[in-house]
Structure 1
Amino acid sequence: MGSSSSERVEGQNMYKEWMSFQEQELTELIHSLNLNKTTATTSDNDAEINALLDKATQSFQDYIERRNRLARRDTSAFFSPRWCSSFESSMLWIAGCRPSSFFNLFYALCGSDIDSRLSQFLQDGKSDEFPQLSPSQLVAIDNLQRRTIVEEEKLTSQFASLQQDKADVPLALIARKLEGPQYELNEDVRETIAEIEKAMVCLMEEADNLRLETFKEMVKILKPVQALEFIIAAKKLRVCVRSWGEERDREHGQEDKE
């Protein structure tokens, strides 16, 4: 679990590449959505959208697998990533987003669309052709959300226990024995930190798996255009949070995370 500057640079470069890809993919997905709105819905349209959904899902999985490999060598860097803005870091849950945030995002997307449809209908008697959720979809999403929250709470509890049992207590016992003014990173400390990071990376991998599986299940439940709307909203939010966080850091006199 040793840390090195080269691994930190690799993690930083991987994240920058990932965010750049998010922006590129977002443009591609928005273009596909706009094209779908201007043409009659056909099986060819659905096939094209499904191909984009598969691509987005695969890229997410590839990113998770790559960062998990890096995290096994430098775990702490992913729980407090220097390549993220302060605001981004403050929003992290076990080195990433909360899986339950997917549902909050989707419901917000549906609510916003419903409001706009109603407003437009009252004005001109017309509404956009936004695919509405069927009763079976609502039940499936609700069930998925319930399962996800249960698993999320389990991991949250495990992380709290890890911090207390594997980190706070052992490190406190070691620190009590040390005499200043030089508190060196001795072998006992290194071994303890290695054990902590070993447990942390296992939790991160479980959390990443929950994130990925929740994402996949959401896409599976939704119709192609609905899933496209959802992924666009998710990517747009991710890009915006990144941009807002960087702007806030600049306002507070912090350098860009290059």
Structure 2
Amino acid sequence: MTSFSTFYNNWLDHLSQLVRQLATAPRPPTTIDQHRDLERLVAKTMNHYAEYYGAKAFAAERDVFNIFAAPWASSLERSLHWIAGWRPTTVFHLIYTESSILFESHIADILRGQRTGDLGDLSPSQFRRVSELQCETVKEENVITDELSEWQDGASELMGDGTNLDEKILQLVRIVQKADDLRLRTVRRVVELLTTQQAAEFLIVAAELQFGVRRWGLDQDRQRGN
């Protein structure tokens, strides 16, 4: 899985570049060209996430146990994993937290009737759709969690004569791919219900959280190693 580790590190570097472009783009966009440029960057970032999950699906088919082990991740990152990756409902906690922080920071402007257009300015309709999507995502998470539990209950078969080994491993690959599909689909659906400016801000905050957890985790691993 060295090749996937290399891919992952390169992928993170590219994500960092995309986030910098999103962060430096005019927000809110005030011209048609600025709006189109921001839309293009949001789409490019989403395609980058899709590329990651495509590569991960291929890697899981080659060695699903190493995908669970995730040697490219820090100990902290692995401790936060749900079925070899981040939990999809984390997206909603992130949106609610960022929206609350921005709302409070703009409260004076909002009371004067000024619209900020950022994540602190979500409409009632957007909040309703986010809440509905969260409920749907929780249900799907639970279904996949139950599938993994059933797989683990039958894991003793792996110690048997090996006749069902290939099928059991294939089942685990499918579970990981279902979890990854839910992760990517959740981000896509959230981005679709946000404005272009809000989507850009959401992608920036999500990536910054990912980078922050990774940096802290790697630092902790290095300290323990020393």
User: Which of 105, 112, 126 lines up with 1:137 in the alignment?
Assistant: 126
**Could you list the per-position Cα deviations for residues 32-88 of structure 1 after superposition, in whole angstroms to 9, with x for gaps in the alignment?**
1xx225xx6233322111111110111111111111111101111111111111111
User: Which of 217, 221, 224 lines up with 1:249 in the alignment?
Assistant: 221
Alpha-carbon offset, residue 135 of structure 1: 1.6
**Could you list the per-position Cα deviations for residues 89-108 of structure 1 after superposition, in whole angstroms to 9, with x for gaps in the alignment?**
11111111111111111111
Larger Cα Rg: Structure 1 or Structure 2? 1
Alpha-carbon offset, residue 248 of structure 1: 0.6
Q: How does 1:145-184 map to 2 (within 5 A)?
A: 145-165=134-154, 167=155, 169-171=156-158, 174=160
Given that 1:155 and 1:207 are in contact with CA atoms closer than 8 Å, whether structure 2 keeps it comes out as: yes
The aligned counterpart of 2:94 is 105
Aligned partners of 2:80, 2:178: CA distance in 1, in Å?
18
The aligned counterpart of 2:208 is 236
- Tell me: CA distance 1:247–1:192, structure 2 relative to 1, closer, same or farther (3 Å): farther
Alpha-carbon offset, residue 22 of structure 1: 1.8
Aligned partners of 2:95, 2:23: CA distance in 1, in Å?
17
Unaligned runs of 5+ in 1: 1-7, 175-187
Is 1:211 aligned to residue 180 of structure 2?
Answer: no
Is 1:227 aligned to residue 199 of structure 2?
Answer: yes
Given that 2:70 and 2:78 are in contact with CA atoms closer than 8 Å, whether structure 1 keeps it comes out as: yes
The aligned counterpart of 1:94 is 83
Given that 2:5 and 2:72 are in contact with CA atoms closer than 8 Å, whether structure 1 keeps it comes out as: yes
Higher relative contact order (CA 8 A, sep 6+): 1
% identical aligned pairs: 31
Counterpart AA for 2:138 = I
The aligned counterpart of 1:181 is none
Given that 1:117 and 1:128 are in contact with CA atoms closer than 8 Å, whether structure 2 keeps it comes out as: no
- Tell me: CA distance 1:85–1:198, structure 2 relative to 1, closer, same or farther (3 Å): same
The aligned counterpart of 2:27 is 36
Given that 1:117 and 1:127 are in contact with CA atoms closer than 8 Å, whether structure 2 keeps it comes out as: no
Q: How does 1:9-20 map to 2 (within 5 A)?
A: 9-20=2-13
Aligned partners of 1:202, 1:164: CA distance in 2, in Å?
17
Counterpart AA for 1:235 = A
For the aligned residues, what is the CA RMSD?
A: 2.1
Aligned partners of 1:126, 1:142: CA distance in 2, in Å?
25
Query: Secondary structure in 1 aligned to 2:63?
Result: coil
Given that 1:85 and 1:245 are in contact with CA atoms closer than 8 Å, whether structure 2 keeps it comes out as: yes
Is 1:25 aligned to residue 18 of structure 2?
Answer: yes
Alpha-carbon offset, residue 136 of structure 1: 1.4
Given that 2:68 and 2:84 are in contact with CA atoms closer than 8 Å, whether structure 1 keeps it comes out as: yes
Query: Secondary structure in 2 aligned to 1:92?
Result: coil
The aligned counterpart of 2:170 is 198
The aligned counterpart of 2:65 is 76
Counterpart AA for 1:23 = S
Aligned partners of 2:117, 2:36: CA distance in 1, in Å?
18
Query: Secondary structure in 2 aligned to 1:36?
Result: coil
